[in-house]
Amino acid sequence: MVKLDACGLSCPEPVMMISKAMKSGGKEYEITVDNRVSKENVTRYAEHQGYTVSVTESNGEFTLKIQK
């Protein structure tokens, strides 16, 4: 599993990070973001790429588990 930390970054940077990671062809990713817009945009992008996304929230941070 590839783990990414995009806290403190605003879109489109988190989407660009997950896009670059997905080019490796992996099946599982985890990315942490700290704002709702990034959560929504990364989720939308991953689902568009054929992945399923589950989200957990803790202390204002969202952890997105992305799987194919």
CATH number of the domain where residue 48 is located: 3.30.110.40
Range(s) of the domain holding residue 37? 2-67
The pLDDT tens digits of the residues spanning 15-24 come to 999 999 999 9
Answer for the pair 47, 21: CB distance below 8 angstroms, yes or no: no
Q: How many domains does the chain have?
A: 1
Tokens linked to 49: 């790429």
Q: Look at the chain and count its residues.
A: 68
The model's pTM: 0.95
- Give the dihedral of Cα atoms 64, 18, 40, 66; nearest 10 deg: -30
The pLDDT tens digits of the residues spanning 10-68 come to 999 999 999 999 999 999 999 999 999 999 999 999 999 999 999 999 999 999 999 99
Answer for the pair 6, 14: CB distance below 8 angstroms, yes or no: yes
Report, as residue numbers or ranges, the catalytic residues: 11
Angle, in degrees to the nearest 10, between helices 13-22 and 36-48: 30
Q: What is the pLDDT of residue 6?
A: 98
